[in-house]
Chains A and B, each alone.
Chain A
Amino acid sequence: MRYNNRFTLSTPESVELEFALAGIGNRVFALFIDYQVLGLILIGHLIVWIFASIQLLDYLTRLEGDFSSVPLWLLAIFLIFNFSIFVGYFVFFEVRWQGQTPGKRLAKIRVVRDDGRPVGLNQAVLRSLLRPVDDVFFIGLFFILLNKQEKRIGDLVAGTLVVQEERDGSKTDILCSERAQQLARELPETSDLDHLTPDDFAVIRAYLRRRNAMTSRSQVEVSMKLAQQIRELIKFEVIPPNMTSEDFLEALYLVYQERSPRFD
């Protein structure tokens, strides 16, 4: 079962691109983060405005003349700036960071045009200007939930989609023991590695990458089970003395990495 809505896009060159749509969880998460950041910026703006206004009014009272309309002007300036920051925040980041804002970056999602190209200024501005509309009574949230392509009003008008980032597979270095390296040299001769599929190697790699975050008990359990099953698959019969299941899995990883260097 796939847990994210997907969207397939055919380019004019008839290449099919498939995206995983961001989904309500990522979008609310990203917005939550962005609104925290934006909130801080707006508070900073308010503080600056208050100090600047006090200084200015202080200065003006020492001059002669009628400045009674100044506070109103200051308020107007404040409101315009506030609005510009609100709209500008999303426009600035979405244009500069190719459809990402700090929140979206954290959530690993990105805005793209309906045809898959990066968003431009027009799209970013439209999305940002319609954001307040989407926020009223959470209209945008219901649009995202009910619309097949998860578009809020801003997306519908601007012709944009919010998709998940291609996974970069966070490249954590896998440290391999010396015994594993030695074993990696012997393995191709002593066993039948062709019985392993790329999928199996992906599983081994996933284990090696993630083992440090696992409890020590589970590390032992998972590595033992994997090693045992793979041993049967590749008919690896003679076990070298002192070899642990961790060594064995590391060795398999090294062998595969050597054969297909793109497999990091």
Chain B
Amino acid sequence: MTPSFDTQDPIEPMTVGNVVNTGFRLYTTNWKPYLRLATLATLWATIPWLVILPIAIFFFVAQDYFNLLFLLIPAWIALLLVCFAHYLGDAAAIARLAFNELTNQDETLAQTRRFTGSRRWSFLLLNFLIGLIFTVMFIVLYILAAISIVAIFAAMGGAPFLQNPTAASAVNPTLVVLSVLILLAVILIFFVLLAWFGVRFSVADLPLAVETRITATDSIGRSWELTRSNVWRVFLIFTVTTIIAFPLQAVVQVAGTAIQEALATVVPEDSFAFIGFIYILSVLISLLAGIVLLPLWQSMKAVVYYDLRSRREGIDIVLRDLGDRLPPT
């Protein structure tokens, strides 16, 4: 036994920057399957909105048959849910592919899609639950913030201030400054809490995309459990990713503006064709930006999930090349 420090790679959790590097690297080396899945997912998400167009034109032209809407609206909502479930299934497939790569598991694209596709209704339920949690939380936090602002303001003797602002601020100018500061502080706390909850639920779809025998509610619980005591680090990871994603998005935006400017030299700017084209272009650009950014976020979430699991569950702590060395049983 000789001491050696060059193990294959250090068995250490990743730093914030290296998590981001890894997510990026996963995307750039696998951009083909990731973008393909992101395109499929995004196409699913656009179907309901494409369907609305002919329906709207029909009613606009016919000006009749409005009773049909009783049938069409529920049907459309059903379509929306189906399409959203498909979107979630394909988006989760990207995350699963990324996680597979991190853990050296072989799985074909078709197998991955089949796996996450079979759970698309659970993903839908999961997203519904998360949406519900956030709505309730937002309302509760909002009410708490409002109450605390009013209470603090009243406690500082703000009531006369409200009745006659000029007179009161002349008497007590510090009150004005203080109440502005307190208002800012409450708003800050509000957003910090919102971000804190956001982080706690940030990898909720990953367990469902990766683990066996798991339900939507389990998956949310797993995210809550894994992110415990790592909130700050995960928050920083997503902040850095947002900063990097911003210029990438800007490139797509700038390209769109360039096309628009180029077109403006050919077609008169107030013509119907121009306005229509601009509208279609803006839709296409936002779809394109969505397609490009989806794999970035999915692979980043996969790395965060992997890193959290190695920190909290030690999934990377395994003996290497064990099969060759164990005595035959």
Contact = CB atoms under 8 A, between A and B. Distances in A.
Interface in A121-147: 137-138, 141-142
Interface string A199-213: 110110011001101
Interface in B218-250: 225, 229, 236, 239-240, 243-244, 246-247, 250
B38 interface: no
A27 B17 contact: yes
A232 B322 CA distance: 10
Between A3, A196, A219, A256, the greatest number of chain B beta carbons within 10 A of the residue's beta carbon is seen for: A3
Contact of A203 (B16, B240, B311, B318): B318
Contacts of A194: 1
B3 interface: yes
Contacts of A229: 319, 322, 326
A171 interface: no
Interface residues of B, number: 48
B314 A214 contact: yes
Contact of A218 (B3, B25, B314): B314
A232 B319 contact: no
A218 B322 CA distance: 21
Interface string B1-39: 111110111111101111111111110010000000000
B247 to A, nearest CB: 4
A17 B103 CA distance: 29
B240 A198 contact: no
A195 B311 contact: no
Contact of A25 (B12, B21, B225): B21
Interface stretch (A28-36, A69-77, A84-92): A28-36
Interface of B: 1-5, 7-13, 15-26, 29, 101, 225, 229, 236, 239-240, 243-244, 246-247, 250, 311-314, 317-320, 322, 325-327
Interface of A: 1-4, 22-30, 32, 107-109, 137-138, 141-142, 164, 167, 169, 193-196, 198-200, 202-203, 206-207, 210-211, 213-215, 218-219, 221-222, 226, 229-230, 232-233, 235, 256, 259-260, 262-263
